[in-house]
Structure 1
Amino acid sequence: MRNIPIPVDTHRLRFSCAKAPRPRLLDQESGKIKTDKQGNTIYETVLLAEDEFGRMELVKVGTSGEPPIAQGQDVVPTGMIGYTWEQTRNGEVRWGISYKAASIVPVSGKPGGGERG
């Protein structure tokens, strides 16, 4: 499967931090943490994305470095892209989309967010 970046238009979506950022593990057993090419820790944040019709979905979004956000805040991911992935384990094929963002910032400086404009 080709790994082609898919730009995500986030302008019509509202995002909330459902689970605070944490370092992404490469291996659960060893506890080894994933880093980018510059050696920065990759953080994984679970966001709740809601569209204009009220449909919601949880998405895990990776960033280089820890985003300055907390659980419950309304946030804005910038430069968000998706990548398709596929893997076979025990003869079973699994696939999905992983998401990365250049940054994830709070809508306002207060926990719980604020109004989006």
Structure 2
Amino acid sequence: MRNIPIPVDTHRLRFSCAKAPRPRLIDQESGKIKTDKQGNTIYETVLLAEDDFGRMELVKVGTSGEPSITQGQDVVPTGMIGYTWEQTRNGELRWGVSYKAASIVPVSGTPGGGRT
């Protein structure tokens, strides 16, 4: 499977931080943390994405470096892309889409970063 980046149009979605950023682990047992090519820690944030019809989905989004956001805050992921992946584990094929963003920033415009 070719790993081709898929741009994500985030302009028609609203995002909230469902779970605060935390370092992404490569191995649960050893506690080894994932880094990018420059050696920066990759952080994983769980976002709640909602469209104009009220449909919602939780998505994990990786970023290089820790975003300055907190749980419950309305946020904007910038430069978001998706990658398809697949793996065979115990003879069973699994697949999905992983997401990365250049940054995740609080929504500005009101005190505390909330939506207007």
User: When the two structures are superposed, what TM-score results if normalisation uses the length of structure 2?
Assistant: 0.95
Q: Per-residue CA shift, 1:4-49, capped at 9, x if unaligned?
A: 0000000000000000000000000000000000100000000000
- 1:113 CA drift (Å): 3.9
Deviates more, 1:2-11 or 1:100-109: 100-109
CA distance in 2, matches of 1:35, 1:29: 17
Residue in 2 aligned with 1:74?
A: 74
Distance 1:12 1:109, change over 3 A: closer
Alignment of 1:35-54 (within 5 A): 35-54=35-54
Unaligned runs of 5+ residues in structure 1 are none
Unaligned runs of 5+ residues in structure 2 are none
CA distance in 1, matches of 2:108, 2:68: 11
% of aligned pairs identical?
A: 93
Aligned to 2:109, what secondary structure does the other structure show? Answer: coil
The alignment covers a number of residue pairs equal to 116
Alignment of 1:1-117 (within 5 A): 1-108=1-108, 113-114=113-114, 116=115
Distance 1:112 1:60, change over 3 A: farther
Aligned to 1:52, what secondary structure does the other structure show? Answer: coil
Query: 1:16·1:49 contact (CA, 8 Å) conserved in 2?
Result: yes
Query: 1:74·1:112 contact (CA, 8 Å) conserved in 2?
Result: no
User: When the two structures are superposed, what TM-score results if normalisation uses the length of structure 1?
Assistant: 0.94
Q: Per-residue CA shift, 1:42-71, capped at 9, x if unaligned?
A: 000000000000000000000000000000
- 1:81 CA drift (Å): 0.1
Query: 1:26·1:34 contact (CA, 8 Å) conserved in 2?
Result: yes
Distance 1:15 1:22, change over 3 A: same
Distance 1:96 1:111, change over 3 A: farther
- 1:108 CA drift (Å): 2.9
Aligned to 2:105, what secondary structure does the other structure show? Answer: strand
Instruction: Give the alignment's Cα RMSD to 1 decimal.
Output: 1.7
Aligned to 1:112, what secondary structure does the other structure show? Answer: helix
